[in-house]
Amino acid sequence: MATQLMTPTNGHSTEFTTDRATLYMLGGVALIVFGAGLVLSNPVVRRYLGQLGIGSLAETALPDLERYLKLRSM
């Protein structure tokens, strides 16, 4: 797929095809973010995630992340 995007097709340059591929990728990312926002804005989903305790997961992972960043900066 990637090699097909890099080859000129129908007289178009490779710049056009890479620009188009980049726009498709960014459009896909935007749709994923928008879809996740729609799902998370639903009150039923928010209540269910609140019962799962996602906040406690973030609290336990944060010290590990800070420790990793300290080790990485050394």
Q: Is residue 29 part of a domain?
A: yes
> In this structure, is residue 57 part of a structural domain?
yes
Residue 26 located in a structural domain: yes
Residue 49 domain-assigned (yes or no): yes
Q: Which of 48, 50, 70, 69 is nearest to 58 (CA)?
A: 50
The DSSP line for the chain is -HHHHHS--TT--HHHHHHHHHHHHHHHHHHHHHHHHHHHTSHHHHHHHHHHTHHHHHHHHHHHHHHHHHHHH-
- Write out pLDDT tens, residues 22-54: 999 999 999 999 999 888 888 888 888 778 777
In a domain, 6, yes or no: no
**Number of domains composing the chain:** 1
Task: Place 62 in a pLDDT band, splitting at 50, 70 and 90.
Answer: confident
Q: Is residue 46 part of a domain?
A: yes
pLDDT at residue 16, as a whole number: 67
Residue 60 lies in a domain: yes
Kindly state whether residue 10 falls inside one of the protein's structural domains.
Answer: no
Containing domain of residue 34, as a range? Answer: 15-73
Is pTM beyond 0.75? Reply is: no
